[in-house]
Structure 1
C-alpha cells in the first residue's frame, strides 16, 4: 500500500470522528506575529502531482535511515501531520521519521547545525530563508534536481516565488496563509464591496456609505489601521502598486508615487474606520456587530464559527502571503540522507497529502492540484482565503525584510492619527528602512 493510500484511510477515519459539519480551525502553533508574515497574480495550472511514494535510493542504501525533522507544530494541528509521516514510514521500510518540536528554532539551529547535530529537515516559514541560507543552516535544492519548472507545475505562484532567493531554491512549500475580508452577512452582502479587488476608491465610497447609514458602526476593522502593524496594512500598499516594502537587493519602495497613493487613501479611510484597533478590538467589533467586516487571517474563523456568525469572505487588495515550508539542512548531506530527506519533503508537500491535511486543519495548500481538487472545491473557507492569496505578494525571504516592519507600521499609525502627512510619512519610512539596511550591509 502506498504512503498516500495509507494516509487517506487514516485521515478519513479522523474526519469521520470530527463529524460532518465545519470543523473549527485549531489554534495555531504560534499565532503569526502581527508585524511579520508574500507575488502571485494568478493560480498556475498544475500539470501533474509530484511522485512522492518512492524514495530515491540514498547512498547508504543498505542501512536504516532516520530523518530528523525539527518543527513548531503542536496540539490538534500536529496529530494529522504525525499520521501523514507514519503513513510514509509504513510504505517505506527502513525509513523512520523523528518529529521534534523546537520552541526556538533560530537559537537551536545556530548551536546544532555548525557541529552537524540536529535535524535533516526544518519545517519553518519562508521569511527565514535568507538569514539561514547566509549562515549555512539550509542548503539549496537545485543540486538535488529541484528546478523552477517543477515548482511552477506543482505549487501556487506566491509559494513558488517565496522559495527562491538569490536565484536558488531553498525549500518546498506546504501551506500558505494571509488575510482577507471576513464579513458578517447580517450586516452586508458581497455586493456591498467593489467587484474589482483593487478598486480602493470604490472601497472608500462603500465605507462612507455604510458609516452614513449606520452611525457609530464601521464597514471594516483592520488592526493595522490604528495600531502599528505592517502585515495587516500590506494589502493596501501592495494593492496601490507598491511591489514590496523592500526587495532582495535592499531597494525600498515607499517614497514612490504608489506608496504616496496608498498613504493618501489610508488618510481618507481613517474618517470611516475605528480610531484605535488591535486583534482583540477588531474581533469584538465583528462579533458584536460594530464592524461589518474584519480584514484578517484564518485564525479568526474559529471565533466566528464559535459565535454562530454567518460569515462570508471577500478578497481585496494584495496581501502578504506567508508560506510554511520544509527546508533541507547540511546535516542531511553530511549524513548522506539528502535523497531520502528530499523524498520525504516532496511527499509531505504533495497535493494528495496536503489535500487530506487541509480537510482537517483548514489550511490552504500550496499545491495547486490540491486547491483544484474535488474534495476542496466546496471548502468555502479554504477557497475564500485561496482567492485572496492568489492576488498576494510572498512574504519577503530576504534578510533585509527585518528592516521593514517597525518603520511601515509606525508611519502608517502616524498617518492614521494625523501626526504626519502622507508625504512626510512615506519620506520618513523610506529613510528609516534605508538606514537599517545600510547597517545590515
Structure 2
C-alpha cells in the first residue's frame, strides 16, 4: 500500500532537481583519485541520473577525471524518463543502475523495495558521514538507522532581501527570534505604508515546504518521522500557528511564487522567503540582493545511491569508490564553482572561493540550521494535512488548536493506511 504514496512525496524534490542555478563559470579541473584503484579487471558502471544541460557539463568532467585515473572503469550515464517505473522493470531483470542519482526523499521507499544497498555493508559509517558532510546532509541519508547514500549537494530557502528597500538591520540578527521578526515586520509596514517586509508563498496555506522554517523554527522536529509519528498536534506547532495569526496583520493579503517575485522586484516587499531557483529572476530584474537565514528550512539533498544490482554483479565496491570521489572536497568545490550549487561536502562549502559566491554563502548559512527533507516512506502523508492546517489558521476558518489537531489526525490516518 506504500506504492500509492511514492509519487506524492517525490514531487517536490524531483521538480527542485530540475531547477537551474546560474550559468556555469570556469573552474578548476576535477581532482584525481588519491587512493589506489579498487578495480583490477575492466568494469562498466551504469549511472542513472536527472542532470542535463550546462549543469551536466561539470558533472561529466568529474566522471571523466575518474575514468582517466582508472582506465579499467567505464562510467555510462543514462537518464530514464520515469525513474520509478524504470527501476521496477530493470532491477528484477538484473539490469538496474550501479549508481542512482536521486533526491534523499526517495531513500525510504527505495530501501523498503530492496532497490538500493545499505552502504554500511560496504564500510561506510556514521563517523565518515559526520567528518565529510554538513550535518543536515549527513542526517538526511540515514534512514532506519542505516546509511543509504552519499550526499552531493543541498538546497532550500532563506530570506532574500532587496537592498534598495531594506538592509540587514531590518531582519533579526538571531534567525530563531520570531518575536523580533514580527516586531520588525510591524515596524517596516508602519514606516512604509502599503509595503511589507516579507513575502512567503507558504503562509496562506497549501504549501508545507515554504512554511516549514516557521514550524521547525518553533521547535517542531519534523512533520512526520521514520516511524510515522506526526508532530503537528504539539505545543511547538501551536506556538508557530499562533505566531502566524499575528504575522498576518503585517503580510500581503495574497502570496504566491509569482506575487512574491513581483512584489520584491517592484519594491513592494522588502524580502522573499525563497530558494536558489529564484535568483536568476532577481538578477535579470537588476535586483541587488542579500541573503539571510531565518528559522529552520527543509533541506533538500541530492544524493548518490548504489543499486541492488551493483551488489549482485560484484560492482558495488567500484561504485562506492566512484561516489566517494564524486563527493570529495575538490570535486564538490569544482561543481559548486561551475554550477553554483551548495556542496554537501563540509570542507568544499567552507572553501574561500566557494564562500566568495554570495548565493552559496547565504543559502548555505540558512541550510546549516535546517531539517533534512524527510526520507521516510511515510513522508507523503505530510504535505496535504500541513498545507490545509496552515490555510485554516491563516483564514481563521479553524482555531490554531483545531486546525493542527485535524492535521495530526489526517497524517495518522494516512500513515496507518501505508503500513
Structure 1 residues 172-230: Cα deviation after superposition (integer angstroms, max 9, x where no partner):
00001110000001111101111110110110111111111222211111011124100
Do 1:52 and 1:346's aligned partners in 2 also have CA atoms closer than 8 Å? no
Match of residue 92 from structure 2: 114
Distance in structure 1 (CA, Å) of the matches to 2:36 and 2:220: 43
How big is the shift at 1:377?
2.8
- Structure 2 segments unaligned to the other structure (5+ residues): 1-11, 18-30
Which residue, 13, 36, 57 being the options, matches 2:38?
Answer: 57
In the other structure, the counterpart of 1:383 is 361
Cα distance in structure 2, aligned partners of 1:375 and 1:435? 49
Q: How does 1:95-174 map to 2 (within 5 A)?
A: 95-174=73-152
Deviation at 1:30, TM superposition (A): 5.8
| Greater shift in the superposed pair: 374-383 or 227-236 | 374-383
DSSP 3-state at the match of 1:341: helix
Give unpaired runs (5+ residues) of structure 1: 1-27, 34-49
Return 255-264 or 95-104, whichever deviates more: 95-104
Q: How many residues align?
A: 396
The reply on whether 1:298 has 2:298 as its aligned counterpart is: no
* 2:13–2:103 Cα contact (<8 Å) kept: no
Q: Which residue among 344, 369, 379 is the counterpart of 1:401?
A: 379
Q: Distance in 2 between matches of 1:435 and 1:51?
A: 51
TM-aligned CA distance change 1:428 to 1:29, over 3 Å? closer
1:18 corresponding residue in structure 2:
none
Aligned counterparts of 1:288 and 1:31: Cα–Cα separation in 2: 27
Distance 2:296 2:33 in 1: 33
**Secondary structure class of the residue paired with 2:401:** helix
Mapping 1:188-267, distance limit 5 Å: 188-267=166-245
Asked if 2 retains the 8 angstrom alpha-carbon contact of 1:175 and 1:364, the reply is yes
CA-to-partner distance for each residue in 1:258-290, whole Å, 9 max, x for gaps? 010000011111111122222111111111111
Question: Residue 74 in 1 paired to residue 52 in 2?
Answer: yes
Are positions 1:332 and 2:332 aligned together? no
Structure 1 residue 397, shift from structure 2 partner: 0.6
Asked whether the equivalents of residues 29 and 75 of structure 1 are also in contact (C-alpha less than 8 Å), the reply is no
Q: Provide the C-alpha distance between the structure 1 equivalents of 2:33 and 2:123, rounded to a whole number of angstroms.
A: 14
1:305 partner SS: helix
SS of corresponding position for 2:311: helix
Decide whether the 8 Å contact of 1:174 with 1:326 is kept in 2: yes
Relative distance call for 1:74 and 1:227 in structure 2 (3 A) is: farther
1:52 shift after superposition = 4.3
Q: Tell me how large the CA RMSD over aligned residues is.
A: 1.8
Deviation at 1:32, TM superposition (A): 2.0
Per-residue CA deviations over 1:224-260 (Å, capped at 9, x if unaligned) read 1124100000000000010111111111111111010
1:193–1:303 Cα change, 3 Å: same
